[in-house]
Amino acid sequence: MKRILTSLFIVNFFLVSCSKDEEFMEEIDATPPVSEEQPEIGFPPSLAYSFMVDAGATPETIALFYNLKSLSYSSYIVGQQDAFSAFYQNNGGMSDMKKLTGSDPGMLGSDFMFITDDANDEQPNNWFYQQEQHIRSKAIEAFDKGMVNIFCWHLREPYEGDHFYTSEMTTDQKQNAFKSILPGGENHEYYKKKLQKVATFTKNLKSTNGTLIPIIFRPFHEFDKDFFWWGAAYSSPQEFIDLWRFTVSYLRDDLDVSNMLYAFSPDNSYTTENSYLTRYPGDEYVDVVGMDNYGDLAAQNGSLISLANQKLKVVSDLAEKRNKIAAFTETGYFVSPSDQLASDFYSRNVYEVLTKQDINLGFMMFWQNYQDSYTVPVPGARGADDFLKFREKEKTMLLTDMPDIYDLPEDDI
């Protein structure tokens, strides 16, 4: 087996942006009219649980759901993947966002990949177990600061346990991996063991004062493309729906996970509600409707900004109709010494994607920084001044701007 055992940075190198090179080119004829009235949340705090996947969730998890939905009408929380672990030019210490803005992001992105790896034997000298402990400590740090925790899952294929990119898998593996973990499949029990590990980690994720920490879990992200083995090319819509429903039900009902919100996050293939819902498992299995999108932000002339905004408009409108949280679950433009960066990329391009057409998002998340490239600039880097302008925009919310996201308000009488 080919394994990466040298350092977190080397492993992370192979994760670069999930879809950095994916671009989806098409045109839209018109944009919907802008409404004149700002909508308001359609349910009181005391009924928030009834719109969630887990009606028996912990009080902090219910508060997180309600407050993200409520905040979406005026602000969006800005997050970054691995903000406390990955730094531009390996300059550690405080998060790169805090180095520039004076504030940490409001959300920390993490990954279950190392935690569920076959090589993680949970022994103190095991590199993967050490990464699990590191991820745990950073998630606790984030919660103690008042941040939101969100986890994706680059789950390795169930045959050799080595890869998640189809480009590194055999034809037989990528054609059968997803089907094999469905109920009744040859690797279904293997998949259940991975979910058991996810559950054990999540149920034991507690703050320094013993509070069970809520997380947002977004499995099978960017499933509409074909670069991951859980992509649409390798399963039918019904098979995807069946596995999603099994995953949620097994975690919630069989493994008693009560501190988790579930996020549905395709990549950027969708431009209509019908196409977005092709693999949607149902409102009772989803708390967050999101979308990842790198390709439409790659053009520095802003030629695809309206298209990206229209895609988020679909997500925002769905969240409004279904009492879900809308989110821009993953994005960024990777700036390296050889790349061009528009002078107003953050303050105009990104901000317009996030806000035009009265979009209401609970959060947006930049992907992580690397040694040789960044999505969030540091002081002195190109785009730093413009990111500060983005940070000062009316709807942008970093940690220092956030209320207590884990405190459920009382109903208005």
pLDDT of amino acid 52: 98
Write down the mean pLDDT value for the chain: 92
Which pLDDT tens digit goes with each residue over 396-412? Answer: 999 999 999 999 999 98
DSSP class per residue in 109-134:
EEESTTTT-TT----TT-HHHHHHHH
pLDDT of amino acid 39: 59
Q: How many CB atoms lie within 10 A of CB 373?
A: 20
For residue 153, what is the enclosing H or E element?
none
pLDDT of amino acid 102: 98
Sequence ranges of the domains in the chain: 8-16+44-401
The catalytic residue among 157, 222, 352, 410 is 222
pLDDT of amino acid 91: 96
pLDDT of amino acid 413: 65
Does 14 score more than 50 pLDDT?
Answer: no
Which pLDDT tens digit goes with each residue over 335-347? Answer: 998 889 999 999 9
Q: Does domain 8-16+44-401 sit in CATH 3.20.20.80?
A: yes
Which pLDDT tens digit goes with each residue over 298-335? Answer: 999 999 999 999 999 999 999 999 999 999 999 999 99
The catalytic residue among 273, 330, 352, 410 is 330
Share of the chain above pLDDT 70, in %: 90
| DSSP-derived 3-state class of residue 297 | helix
Burial 327-342 (b: 16+ CB within 10 A, else e): bbbbbbbbbeeeeebb
What is the average pLDDT across 138-144?
A: 98
pLDDT of amino acid 40: 77
302 within 8 A of 277, measured Cβ to Cβ: no
**Nearest-10 crossing angle of helices 237-249, 171-180:** 50
What is the average pLDDT across 239-266?
A: 98
Amino acid at 109: G
Would residue 222 show up in a list of annotated catalytic residues for this protein? yes
Q: What is the 3-state secondary structure (H, E, C) of 264-293?
A: ECCCCCCCCHHHHHHHCCCHHHCCEEEEEE
Would residue 239 show up in a list of annotated catalytic residues for this protein? no
Which pLDDT tens digit goes with each residue over 196-237? Answer: 999 999 999 999 999 999 999 999 999 999 999 999 999 999
What is the average pLDDT across 229-256?
A: 98
Which pLDDT tens digit goes with each residue over 381-400? Answer: 999 999 999 999 999 999 99
